[in-house]
């Protein structure tokens, strides 16, 4: 549901709350003090927090790409990379979901708890969330997936449901 709302610009970001007259224009700026109105594209793709996280994720996966400025394009690029085997698509989609979820939760922690996590902590949350989600989703055959030929400190082993 979260990703569906995200890709349709239906999350309660500050620009959406301002448009609905829920907040005042003085409180519509990004939580990371970017001096930019918090929009979906800015929060998840252009903010210093998200840029650092996406860069860390690309590095962790051993992949390189030019990021898009639109959520749908970024989602498609990340999840369905040309040249990678089809079996990696759901794996990458799970990582993408974990990234946007971690960015959203970090944003809410900044707003409601006045707590911000460092970039390496966010990356570890992405690794943990994506692993747990994939482990819960797939249940029949053990497969080890390496992307970019790199072995990382975080080993990915999960089970794929064949039926």
* Segments making up each domain of the chain, as ranges: 2-133
Paired tokens of 67? 């990021």
List the beta bridge partners of residue 160.
141
E strand or H helix that includes residue 48: helix 48-61
Taking the whole predicted model, whether its pTM rises above 0.85 is answered as no
Helix pair 48-61, 89-113: axis angle to 10 deg? 150
- 1 to each of 5, 10, 57, 60, 115, how far by Cα in Å? 6, 10, 23, 27, 25
Paired tokens of 99? 């990234």
Q: Rounded distance, CA 149 to CA 99, Å? A: 22
Q: Encode the chain (163 residues) as per-residue pLDDT tens digits.
A: 999 999 999 999 999 999 999 998 888 899 998 889 999 999 999 999 999 999 999 999 888 887 788 999 999 988 888 678 888 888 899 999 999 999 999 999 999 999 989 999 999 999 999 988 887 776 543 445 555 554 444 444 443 333 2
């Amino acid at each position: 549901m979260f990703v569906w709302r995200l890709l349709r610009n239906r999350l309660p970001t500050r620009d959406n709350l301002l448009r609905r007259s829920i907040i005042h224009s003085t409180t519509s700026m990004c939580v990371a003090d970017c001096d930019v109105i918090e929009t979906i594209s800015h929060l998840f793709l252009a903010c210093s927090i998200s840029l650092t996280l996406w860069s860390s994720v690309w590095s962790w996966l051993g992949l390189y790409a030019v990021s898009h400025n639109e959520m749908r394009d970024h989602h498609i690029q990340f999840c369905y990379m040309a040249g990678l085997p089809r079996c990696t698509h759901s794996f990458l989609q799970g990582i993408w979901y974990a990234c946007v979820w971690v960015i959203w939760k970090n944003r809410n922690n900044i707003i409601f708890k006045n707590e911000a996590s460092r970039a390496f902590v966010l990356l570890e949350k992405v690794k943990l969330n994506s692993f747990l989600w994939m482990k819960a989703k797939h249940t029949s055959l053990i497969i080890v997936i390496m992307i970019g030929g790199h072995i990382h400190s975080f080993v990915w082993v999960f089970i794929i449901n064949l039926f």
